[in-house]
Structure 1
Amino acid sequence: MATPADVRALFEAKLKDSATPPDFHPLDLERAKDEKYLQRVLYHSEKDPKQAADMLWDILTWRKSVGASDINESNIRMDYVQEGVFFPRGRDIDGSLLLIFKAKMHVKGQREYEELKKIMIYWFDRVEREENGKRITMFFDMDGSGLGNMDMELVKYLITLFKLYYPYFLNYIVIYQMPWVLSAAFKVVKTLLPAKAVEKMKFVTKDTLKDIVAPEQALAVWGGKDNYVFEFIPESKTNSEHTTSKKVTFAEQGDSQHSPGEMLRLVPNDTIIFKNDNDEISGQFTITNMDDSAISFKIRTTAPEKFRVRPSSGTLASGASQTVLIVVQPGIHLRTVTKDRFLVMSIQIPKTDLNQKELSEIWQASTGSKTDEYRLKCQFPDKDIPKNGNVTDGKSPEKTDSVANSLSNLEMNYEMLHRDLQKLKWMQFLTLTITVFVAVVGYLIYVNVGEEGKYCERL
């Protein structure tokens, strides 16, 4: 299996063999030595070491061409930054930071495009440092926006950053409250993305946002509980020197060892194995508090409608354990469930017998530096998956297939209705235009005829 060392060796060989070695920025060359960064490049390149080494070369070449490592608060348009078109705030259900783009605050052509690109690089580099390379979610807040706010060039540039220059950095692309007039534009965006990235696009409304962003993490303007109003805070000196005090401890190593400094030990630590037991698909894992103090934990999932989680939250004294049972809801297609993830979040608390209000206040006052986060995947052995791919809960395959066919027909009817509605809107617009035109022409004829009549009377 390819390793970061393989990528580094290929990159260094290419650097050595280059007739005119490029003068890469010293900070960027450090990326070629950072095992965690090389691992990201390798994952982004489908674990192909040659492809990963080429991507690393392209990243460093691009960063040199745009001066990415020299972009900071002293050489970007701070008046643009302080308007709050882009800013990070809140986290998705996986614990990934939201980088928010407020579409209604941007009007195409009103700002210098090259300056906007520098600001995007500034935010990408800054959150990459502050999050220690952890993936982020691009959140397009389209509420209140219209055609004048849709800047395809800017959106394409954002997609390009994720696709080519910030490896394994994208968790989701969330499009919130998209107006129907912009639906065609986002169909174009889909064509710019690889197939795997298209799966990461989530179109949400105020009612469905909670499936991706918990109410505690959502802004009040989205119907959430966060009353935050954007105010630019300069990056701290500590972060600008590429160190971080934030402790994010997703279990990705693939072993069952507990890392020093982590609050919890999860067994299994990265994958929940589901089994079919008496027509019920279920899996479980155990949480153990390894901290010296009591902790509170919460469990979130990318698809809460698909699972029952018991318990979904709780408290643990130091050294105590809790087994969590997860059951797949009846009628859910298992092939889609394998893509879902679970997030376990924990935070220190003074004692275990706090009431719900006290716990809520502690969580609301917490910041990323005070919490631990652990991500779990789902695995379903093929022998435990019913042939029709569904959890039937005793229902016959014929009935399940019938339901699936009904849903398929419903989707087709919806598409036809949507097309007919679009045609009707255009017909109404055309009819109105013709009516106005005829009225104007009629009025002009009436005026001209009246003037001719008066002229004849004078003669």
Structure 2
Amino acid sequence: MATPADLRSAFENRLKEGIPNPPGEFHPLDLERAKDDKYLKRILTHVDNDLKQASDMLWDLMVWRKTVGANDINESTVRMDYLKEGTFFPRGRDVDGSLLMIVKAKMHVKGQKDFEEIKKIIIYWLDRIEREENGKCVTLFFDMEGCGLGNMDMELIKYLISMFKLYYPLFLNYIVIYQMPWVLSAAFKVVKSLLPAKAVEKMKFCSKDNLKDVVPPEQALTCWGGKDSYKFEFVPENRSAEQSTKKVTFAEQGDSHSPGEMLRLNPHDIIVFKNDNDELSGQFTITNMDENAVSFKIRTTSPEKFRVRPSSGTLPSGSTQTVLIVVQPGFQLRTVTKDRFLVMSIQIPKTDLTPKELADFWQNSIGSKVDEYRLKCQFPEKALSRNGTVLDGKGLEKQDSVTNALNNLQSNYEFLHRDVKRLKIFQFLTLFMTAIAVVLGYLVYLNTNANGGYCERM
């Protein structure tokens, strides 16, 4: 398996061969990226650990960043009227805690603005978010409410997709298309064709009714039916602020706690579920290792499948909380195994904050010290081998009879479906042969009358 050191070595060897001019020498800040193990690991993961592809991607994005002058794009080099109108802006977080990069599509009309300037705005926001989020994934949120054909700009969409595909490795969490008008359905089929299979899996079409499955109501804007009354107002980036205060932890193998992290999780990477008291449940403990009190929240990729107690809370320094997770009845275990849990924590001044004060701390968490930890699920082999559904009090004990009944029902349905198809074929053949017989009979009749008439005239 390729390592960041392997990728760094490949990049350095290519540097020795010389950089083409244009674009010329790479920017010093970009060269620092090639020394950052975390960034190099993002690239390797992005290309499924293919060292050759990773080396090409790192080189290509370096060339691209130098060519477009990405490091020199800031408030003084972009069109401020474009920046302040709010077609693109970050706000809120999805169920995984990823920041939303919102695209207000109805504010964009194809051909009315300088597209090269729009590109610079996009690079500005993506670079700024990458710095502020410390490389954590973002969700691209297309707000399509109120859009028409004039707002559909395929060139813009292709450009946005290319950013995440080619130049911002492992930076995309979801692509959310919100309230898409039916008239644009065909256009988004084209968009799907542009995406690799992994990206297509990340696309989520949402309406006001099911947006809560992707974006929690407290993180959703009021115009989407959420609770956030935020109205976009551009705030310049504070580049002098310490960017290193945000720490993102992906709960990889290794020590269960590292210096500087707020929490210690036990287990730190996998929640082991057991069949206990006729239900599938797992648990882990959270210990506050920070000097300050912390508030924590627990998110999952499929909240409808699990009961989490507690799903949020506060912890004084040094205290521990046990979290119990129970699989809800009625879900196939093989789909549940793909789900993940995210533990988010933020420093707070005290533990007895009011709910409103606590909500304000989370709402304004950008720029605060935030830690995040991701956990996978592991279920008993016996449960998985049955391909079981979590049912009710008896749980897996009822699985076999239910599975047999479902299998019999499926078999009967398939037999019936085949019989109906055969019957339709026989009906068609019968009608076809009848029609041929009628036509042939009619032709014989016409021929007979014609010959008889001719003989009489003779």
Once the two structures are superposed, the pairs formed by residues 42-441 of structure 1 within 5 Å of their partners are 42-238=44-240, 244-277=243-276, 280-353=279-352, 356=355, 359-360=358-359, 362-364=361-363, 366-367=365-366, 369-380=368-379, 382-392=381-391, 393=395, 394-395=398-399, 396-400=402-406
Shift of 1:341: 2.0
Give 1:300's aligned amino acid.
Answer: R
1:131 deviates by: 1.1
> Alignment identity in percent?
70
Structure 1 counterpart of 2:49, one-letter code: K
**In structure 2, what is the equivalent of residue 449 of structure 1?**
none
1:278/1:268 Cα in 2 relative to 1: closer, same or farther (>3 Å)?
same
Give the CA deviation at 1:357. Answer: 5.1
Alpha-carbon separation, structure 1, partners of 2:411 and 2:332 = 14
Indicate the SS of the match to 1:138: strand
What's the CA shift string for 1:116-154, capped at 9, x where partnerless? 111111111111111111111111111111111111110
Structure 1 residue 158 displacement after superposition: 0.5
- Give the root-mean-square deviation of aligned CA atoms: 2.7
Q: Quick check: 162-171 or 72-81, which moved more?
A: 72-81
* Residue 46 of structure 1, CA deviation: 0.4
> Displacement of 1:261 after TM fit?
2.6
- Is the Cα contact below 8 Å between 2:294 and 2:345 reproduced in 1? yes
Aligned residues: 405
2:445 corresponding residue in structure 1 = none
- Structure 2: distance between partners of 1:160 and 1:129: 20
Contact 2:132 2:367 in 1 (8 A): no
- Residue 2 in 1 paired to residue 2 in 2? yes
* Alpha carbons of structure 1 residues 236 and 403: separation in structure 2 relative to 1, 3 Å: farther
2:34 is matched with which residue? 32
- Structure 1 residues 77-96: Cα deviation after superposition (integer angstroms, max 9, x where no partner): 11111110000111111111
Change (3 A) 1:403 1:318: farther
Q: Is the CA contact (8 Å cut-off) linking 2:132 and 2:366 kept in structure 1?
A: no
1:17 CA drift (Å): 3.2
1:437 aligned residue: none
Equivalent residues of 2:293, 2:314 under 8 A apart: yes
Closer/same/farther in 2, CA of residues 11 and 281 from structure 1, 3 Å limit:
same
| Alpha-carbon spacing, 1:75–1:292, altered in 2? closer, same or farther (3 Å) | closer
Query: Is 1:130–1:246's contact at 8 Å kept on the other side of the alignment?
Result: no
**C-alpha distance in 1 between matches for 2:142 and 2:412:** 33
C-alpha distance in 2, partners of 1:343/1:159? Answer: 26
Please give the secondary structure, in 1, of the residue aligned with 2:217.
coil
Residues in 2 aligned to 1:10 and 1:238: alpha-carbon distance in whole angstroms: 33
The residue that corresponds to 2:14 in the other structure is 14
1:347-391 Cα distance to aligned partner (Å, 9 max, x none): 344554555455445544554514433222223464441433533
> Against the structure 1 CA distance between its residues 247 and 27, is the aligned structure 2 distance closer, same or farther, given a 3 Å change threshold?
closer
Instruction: Flag structure 1 segments of 5+ consecutive residues without an equivalent.
Output: 409-459
Aligned partner of 1:135: which letter? C
Question: Closer, same or farther in 2 for the Cα pair 1:306/1:368, shift >3 Å?
Answer: farther
> Alignment partner of 1:24: what SS?
coil
Once residues 109 and 408 of structure 2 are traced to their aligned partners in structure 1, the CA distance between those partners, rounded to angstroms, is 48
CA displacement 1:209-260 (0-9 Å, x = unmatched): 1111112211111121211111111111326xxx505423323332243222
Equivalent residue number for residue 435 of structure 2: none
The structure-2 alpha-carbon separation of the partners of 1:365 and 1:237, relative to structure 1 and needing over 3 Å to count, comes to: closer
Partners of 2:410 and 2:83 lie apart in 1 by 48
Output the CA distance in 2 between the equivalents of 1:363 and 1:334.
33
Distance in 1 between residues matched to 2:7 and 2:97, nearest whole Å: 29
Q: Does the 8 Å CA contact 2:247/2:261 hold for their aligned counterparts?
A: no
Q: Relative to 1, partners in 2 of residues 1:290 and 1:406: Cα closer, same or farther, differing over 3 Å?
A: farther
Seen in structure 2, the aligned counterparts of structure 1 residues 274 and 84 have a Cα distance that, compared at 3 Å, is same
Measured after TM superposition, the shift of residue 335 of structure 1 is 2.9
State the alpha-carbon separation in 1 of the partners of residues 244 and 220 from structure 2: 24
Bigger CA drift: 66-75 or 1-10? 66-75
Q: Is the 8 A contact 1:298 1:312 kept in 2?
A: yes
Deviation at 1:185, TM superposition (A): 1.5
Deviation at 1:70, TM superposition (A): 2.0
Q: Following TM superposition, by how much is the alpha carbon of 1:161 offset from its aligned partner in structure 2, in angstroms?
A: 0.6
C-alpha displacement of 1:11: 1.3
| Structure 1 residues 229 and 4: alpha-carbon distance in aligned structure 2, compared to 1, 3 A threshold | same
Cα distance 1:366–1:47, how it changes in 2: closer, same or farther (>3 A)? closer
TM-score with structure 1 length normalisation?
A: 0.81
Q: Any idea what the Cα deviations from partners look like across 1:258-299, whole Å, max 9, x if unmatched?
A: 222322111122222334456633222111122234333221
In the other structure, the counterpart of 2:443 is none
> Against the structure 1 CA distance between its residues 311 and 34, is the aligned structure 2 distance closer, same or farther, given a 3 Å change threshold?
same
Q: Which has the larger radius of gyration?
A: 2
C-alpha separation in 2, matches of 1:83 and 1:283: 47
Inter-partner Cα distance in structure 2 for 1:287 and 1:13: 44
Distance 1:72 1:93 in 2: 30
- What is the rounded CA distance, in whole Å, between the counterparts of 2:410 and 2:76 in structure 1? 57
Name 2:442's counterpart in structure 1: none
AA of the residue aligned to 2:58: L
Deviates more, 1:324-333 or 1:130-139: 324-333
Secondary structure of 1:23 counterpart:
coil
The alpha-carbon deviation at position 343 of structure 1 amounts to: 1.7
